[in-house]
Amino acid sequence: MTLSPPVAHAVQTVQEWLKELKAKGELADEEAAYRVLGAVLHRLRDRLTVNEAANLGAQLPLVVRGLYYEGWRPSSVPSKVRSKDKFLDELSAAILPITYPVEWAVTAVFSLLARHCDPGEIADVIDQLPGDLKGLWPDTARSVRPQPVQAASGAPKRVKKSSGTSKASASRHTPHDDPEPGTPGTGEDVCPECHGKGKVADKMTGKATGELCGRCDGTGIIVEGIG
């Protein structure tokens, strides 16, 4: 059967991704590469807000995008995984019966994404991850930061630069700044910014919008010190 040019290109692209991941990750074959790619993409996707997950999905080739969205439940994200160890434990279970060094698998997939996706989008993805998980991305990807500039129309527009952070981003408090759940001397509390609703409130009406609260990642709960 002869494939149409768009379909043939999509198939060729995913084959190139799998061959590259197989070589980078020293995997047995492309079937193993496909399973590892899907498992890492799913763990990463579920750690992102709905908007950011969609932005990353738009960067992926057609077939990889389908794998990325497989089984996605937007109402259940972002997950409360706040450490590299938890992320890797979930990945280990997801790739069974394959037994493989999962940290190496994550590093290989993150490198693949960093090579093929927009650096600015990858910077936005990294910004939503726990600190120790950020370290599994290539140094070049972690050095990119967004910076607001003025567009020709007068509206703010973001561009990416290779180093430094804006004052606003440096002072913004996110769940990654909170202690890990279960840390002695800490407890859960209602998010002070969204008041437990998980959504950003409209400044004019006070009603919740569709945007997830950045302080609690849409959970409505934060972890903070007590006593």
What count of residues does the chain have? Answer: 227
175 vs 82, higher pLDDT: 82
Confidence of residue 99 (pLDDT cuts 50, 70, 90): confident
Per-residue pLDDT at 4: 77
Radius of gyration of the chain (CA): 19
Segments of 5-52 assigned E as strands: none
**Model confidence at 97, in pLDDT bands (50, 70, 90)?**
confident
Where is mean pLDDT largest: 4-8, 28-32, 147-151?
28-32
pTM score, whole prediction: 0.64
Pick the more confident residue, 97 or 120: 120
Contact yes or no for 207/213 (Cβ under 8 A)? no
Q: Which ranges of 145-192 would DSSP assign to H, the alpha helix?
A: 167-171
In the prediction, which pLDDT does 167 show? 37
Domain ranges of the chain: 5-142, 173-227
SS3 label, residue 57: helix
Name the burial class of residue 83, with classes exposed (0-12), middle (13-18) and buried (19+) by CB atoms within 10 angstroms of its CB: middle
The CATH code that applies to domain 5-142 is 1.10.490.110
- Please give the average per-residue pLDDT across 196-205, as a whole number: 71
Please name the residue that has the structure tokens 């080739």. Answer: 61
Question: Is residue 27 predicted with pLDDT exceeding 90?
Answer: no
Per-residue confidence band for 126, with pLDDT thresholds at 50, 70 and 90:
very high
Model pLDDT, residue 203: 65
